[in-house]
Structure 1
Amino acid sequence: MGNQVEKLTHLNYNELPTTDPNGFDPEDDTPRIGVSYIFSADDDELEDNIEETEKDDVKHYDCRNELECAVYFRDECIYERNSRFGEVGTLSCENLPNKCNPGDLVEFVAIGQYPHWAVCIKCDFLLDASQGKRGRIVNDLYKFRALSPDVVVQNAMEQVGMKERDVCWKNSECFAAWCRFGKREFKIGGEIRIGKQPYKMKLQLSEKKSHVLDFQSLEDLIMEKRRNDQMGREAVIQELENHLNGTEDTENDYNCN
């Protein structure tokens, strides 16, 4: 397995697989393929040049603007991001490698951008993967039983060189989580979309107020969760309030008629 890890020293960062239907390059509006540490083409990620405003967004990223949420498959909690997780904070791309081990899942974050997930294989490459963003280890967000670190690394390495038509993940989070947990639910079309919606995402809007969304697949739920992460807590709450108020107005108009 040691040789497998060392292979990464002979790879270019741009050789690794990626796809994301929602990840568009703002310049040409086409999905970006083949520009990821391990897997990612999320919106606004991996730009060659970071503008000064983007650098400020990275520097001033505040975990308190993240929306607490929990994900349930039927009655089982399979993912949770609460206030205690937010208190851990993020690390600079220079300090993060000191905390990481091969097989760890790492999330890079910046204001107004989709999170970029990566599988740690060699810490030397985390600087390249981060593109200057702050990051944190996110091994424990998903509650599934993790595979051994060697298997996690092997899962990631086996995808190197994959052709676009064979890519089975919509975003970096799905790919990284699949590498660590091996669940087919993270893959595109990994679940049959029929019958009752078995997944629920509970959004904690305030200490006493929450809102629950239903989904047919974990794949769909993750896409929505990532959109919320990109928007930020305040924007998501405002969007929900506008939607709920609009629904109430429509119902009132209907009842009056």
Structure 2
Amino acid sequence: MGNQVEKLTHLSYREVPTVDPTGVDKDDGPRIGVSYIFSADDDDLEDPGGQNPGGMNRLRGGTLREELQYDPRDEVECSVYYRDDCVYEKSFGVGEQLSTFSPENLLNKCKPGDLVEFVAKNQYPHWVVYVGDFQVVHLYRLEITNSFMTDASQGRRGRIVNDQYKYKALSPEMVVQNAMEQVGCKDQELCWRNSECFAAWCRYGKREFKIGGEIRIGKQPYRLKIQLSEKKSHTLEFQSLEDLIMERRRNDQMGKSCMLQELSSHLQTDQEETRTDLNGN
């Protein structure tokens, strides 16, 4: 599923307003939204509480084997740049950014408007917006729902991720309002491709997180810098933040070891094709 890359020519944008000052992103006209993706991000279609390809299996009493499944050392460290500005960063060197906690412990740390990311081995990260009273709003199974945090976690460990995106956040009240106003939205009404895009839109109000939220004309202004080791990195270019998020989440779902193996095979194939072209000429 992750080995097919559709090569398309896109449009990018310049000087396009990205957010309404009230925090409510208004649709003020048609936007070009042709996307290329490396795989379908179907984290909101799976039931992480049952048996599924993600490997999260229930034990007696309904507990999950996430302690055995999740390995923080397999996290993919990366940074995202829009032209020369860093707009996202996930790194072991940024405080306790990658530390995870049980849902019960998270409830003691969260404030309304916080973004929470739940993680598990071989699964897409699941993002939610904490709205207070032990509840969150999130995109799950193609619907925006209001759930208790412990239910939304499905036994996975999580962390507050307010600081991963570097955009200026809206007020906590506006973040909660954005989330609550979307509860019940589903299927064709949805404007977000995955739980992360929805949660980030609630907090930052930027249309870049919406499906087709950016006009693409020519250049690729976004760069995903993947940290392979302490001294080595690999950079991919994208025409929209939406496309980049899809690829970054795919890497998170695969884990660092599988991602490095796939990247190594891909780079080796490219080198072999280059040598073949040179010999042919």
Report the counterpart of residue 28 of structure 1 in structure 2. Answer: none
Question: Which structure carries more helix by proportion?
Answer: 1
Most deviating of 121-130 and 221-230: 121-130
2:123 is aligned, of 86, 110, 113, to: 113
2:112 is aligned, of 96, 99, 102, to: 102
**What amino acid is the match of 1:248?**
Q
Instruction: Answer yes or no: is 1:51 the counterpart of 2:57.
Output: yes
Deviation string, structure 1 residues 168-202 (Cα, Å, up to 9, x no partner): 00000000000000000000000012210000000
Shift of 1:45: 4.3
Q: How many residues align?
A: 221
Instruction: Answer yes or no: is 1:174 the counterpart of 2:197.
Output: yes
Q: What is the CA–CA distance in structure 2 between the aligned matches of 1:153 and 1:105, rounded to whole Å?
A: 10
Report the counterpart of residue 256 of structure 2 in structure 1. Answer: 233
Structure 1 pair 45/104, CA: closer, same or farther in 2 (3 Å)? farther
Structure 1 pair 47/22, CA: closer, same or farther in 2 (3 Å)? farther
Contact map agreement 1:45 1:116 (CA 8 A) in 2: no
Shift of 1:85: 4.3
**What amino acid is the match of 1:203?**
I
Q: CA RMSD in A?
A: 2.0
**After TM superposition, where is structure 1 displaced by more than 4 Å over at least 4 residues in a row?**
85-88
Q: What is the CA–CA distance in structure 2 between the aligned matches of 1:115 and 1:85, rounded to whole Å?
A: 19
Contact map agreement 1:42 1:115 (CA 8 A) in 2: no
Mapping of residues 166-205 of structure 1, within 5 Å: 166-205=189-228
**What amino acid is the match of 1:246?**
T
Instruction: Answer yes or no: is 1:247 the counterpart of 2:265.
Output: no
Q: What is the CA–CA distance in structure 1 between the aligned matches of 2:85 and 2:261, rounded to whole Å?
A: 29
Instruction: Answer yes or no: is 1:159 the counterpart of 2:182.
Output: yes
Contact map agreement 2:49 2:57 (CA 8 A) in 1: no
Contact map agreement 1:64 1:86 (CA 8 A) in 2: no
Q: What is the CA–CA distance in structure 1 between the aligned matches of 2:41 and 2:237, rounded to whole Å?
A: 23
Shift of 1:146: 0.4
**What amino acid is the match of 2:249?**
R
Q: What is the CA–CA distance in structure 2 between the aligned matches of 1:83 and 1:160, rounded to whole Å?
A: 34
Contact map agreement 2:49 2:155 (CA 8 A) in 1: no
Structure 1 pair 23/243, CA: closer, same or farther in 2 (3 Å)? closer
Contact map agreement 1:91 1:136 (CA 8 A) in 2: yes
Shift of 1:55: 2.6
Equivalent position SS for 2:116? strand
Shift of 1:67: 1.2
**What amino acid is the match of 2:232?**
K
Q: What is the CA–CA distance in structure 1 between the aligned matches of 2:151 and 2:64, rounded to whole Å?
A: 16
Q: What is the CA–CA distance in structure 1 between the aligned matches of 2:44 and 2:186, rounded to whole Å?
A: 18
1:22 is aligned, of 40, 45, 50, to: 40
TM-score with structure 2 setting the length: 0.74
Report the counterpart of residue 5 of structure 2 in structure 1. Answer: none
Mapping of residues 35-74 of structure 1, within 5 Å: 41-42=43-44, 44-47=46-49, 51-52=57-58, 55-74=64-83
**What amino acid is the match of 1:101?**
K
Structure 1 pair 163/61, CA: closer, same or farther in 2 (3 Å)? closer
Report percent identity of matched pairs.
59
Q: What is the CA–CA distance in structure 2 between the aligned matches of 1:61 and 1:42, rounded to whole Å?
A: 19
Q: What is the CA–CA distance in structure 2 between the aligned matches of 1:231 and 1:242, rounded to whole Å?
A: 15
| Structure 2 unaligned blocks of 5 or more | 1-38, 136-147
| Structure 1 unaligned blocks of 5 or more | 1-20, 25-40
Contact map agreement 1:23 1:44 (CA 8 A) in 2: no
**What amino acid is the match of 1:95?**
N
Shift of 1:42: 3.0
Q: What is the CA–CA distance in structure 2 between the aligned matches of 1:152 and 1:137, rounded to whole Å?
A: 15
Q: What is the CA–CA distance in structure 2 between the aligned matches of 1:255 and 1:23, rounded to whole Å?
A: 37
Report the counterpart of residue 138 of structure 1 in structure 2. Answer: 161
